[in-house]
Amino acid sequence: MRARVTVTLKSGVLDPQGKAIEGALKALGIAGVASVRQGKVFDIELEGEDVARAEGALKDAAEKLLANPIIENYRIEVVG
């Protein structure tokens, strides 16, 4: 089974990389860019078929390693 964990900065947390990307897009002439927030995506292959167990393990992984829960949010999607 496959899963995707998406990690983004919480609103209100300064995102200097997002600001740099925003400036670069505008410098390239990309019209209509109001703001950019960057994040991380983890595509993970899991063994087994138990979706609830997989979600629990991924939540544990996100809170311990993949995200900093103080300044980041995460979203888990499991495709069974």
Tokens of 77: 């999607």
The answer regarding whether domain 2-79 maps to CATH 3.30.1280.10 reads yes
User: Would you mind telling me the total number of residues written for the chain in this entry?
Assistant: 80
pLDDT, tens digit, for every residue of 31-77? Answer: 999 999 999 999 999 999 999 999 999 999 999 999 999 999 999 99
Sign of the alpha-carbon torsion through 33, 41, 77, 13: negative
Alpha-carbon span 34 to 22, nearest angstrom: 8
pLDDT band at 80 (very low <50, low <70, confident <90, very high): low
Alpha-carbon span 50 to 39, nearest angstrom: 28
Global confidence as pTM: 0.87
Residue 78's pLDDT is: 96
Q: 2: Cβ–Cβ under 8 A, 6 or more apart, which residues?
A: 43, 44, 45, 46, 78, 79
Question: Domain map of the chain by residue range?
Answer: 2-79
